[in-house]
Amino acid sequence: MTKRIILGAVAILLVIVAAYASFFIAPQERTMGLIQRIFYFHAATAWAGEMTFFVCFLANLLYVWKRQPKYDWLGVSSAEVGLACITVVLITGPIWAHPVWGIWWTWDARLTTALILFLIYVSYLMLRRFGEGDQTPTIAAAFAIFGFIDVPIVYMSIRWWRTQHPQPVIGGGPNSGLDPHMRPALYTNLLAFMCLAALVVWFRYSVAMAERRAEDEAAQRALAENPLSGKLESQGVR
């Protein structure tokens, strides 16, 4: 609990500092003006989402390998937070694009693959939530593992193809780059939203573990109160 409180305080402080840096420290972009400042939040939530999807990918690999429920819970928790992040990306993107491009949406490589990513993890969570049978966690885990393939495609899309989406400002080649005065705002936002995402994943995972323990305790109490029922159920008698 103490560690979560410390991480929460750090995350909140970083978000405040990041917001201040985005609006008051970073210079105003000459061509796009004030609307460009949404870039700092847009890019940071995208990175945070990719980070949590990577955690989901690793957790599901471990679940398929070891069949331990804690990895299943971690995968679901990470996917929920990653889905929230990619939703923010898909909302802030058109808000930024409309004044700059004159359109809310276009089916270019980056936007299309990002939308597919959103749909993949919606499908994973729906499968995990509403699927029936003992094999549901395993099937959902396999789906999430293969679905993760779209994450590097989203990341590389603006490097592989010429798109409407702006070219990368970090690691994009010799003609790319970000104004040095804008870097503190971007890096602070990246750190802030990654810490915030980690905190929410940690909290959601703890809640999932608590729910599972409560279910196990309830099942044990029911078995203690009616051991014959438990024995019949284990033999397939209903």
Residue 218 pLDDT grade (very low, low, confident, very high; cuts 50, 70, 90): confident
pTM: 0.87
Whether 41 is covered by a domain: the verdict is: yes
Please check whether residue 45 is in contact with residue 96, taking contact to mean a CB–CB distance below 8 angstroms.
no
Whether 237 is covered by a domain: the verdict is: no
96 has a pLDDT exceeding 50: yes
167-190 tens-digit pLDDT:
777 765 555 668 888 999 999 999
Whether 65 is covered by a domain: the verdict is: yes
Q: Which two tokens stand for residue 194?
A: 């990654």
C-alpha distances out from residue 218 to 109, 232, 233, Å: 49, 18, 16
Whether 234 is covered by a domain: the verdict is: no
Whether 151 is covered by a domain: the verdict is: yes
Q: How many CB atoms lie within 10 A of CB 195?
A: 19
Residue 227 pLDDT grade (very low, low, confident, very high; cuts 50, 70, 90): low
Q: Which two tokens stand for residue 147?
A: 């679905």
Q: Which two tokens stand for residue 12?
A: 């909140």
What integer pLDDT is reported at residue 237 of this predicted model? 45
φ/ψ of residue 29, rounded to 5:
-65, 135
**Domain limits at 127?**
2-27+37-168+176-210
Residue 7 pLDDT grade (very low, low, confident, very high; cuts 50, 70, 90): confident
Whether 32 is covered by a domain: the verdict is: no
The helix-helix angle for 69-101 and 183-225 (nearest 10°) equals 140
Whether 226 is covered by a domain: the verdict is: no
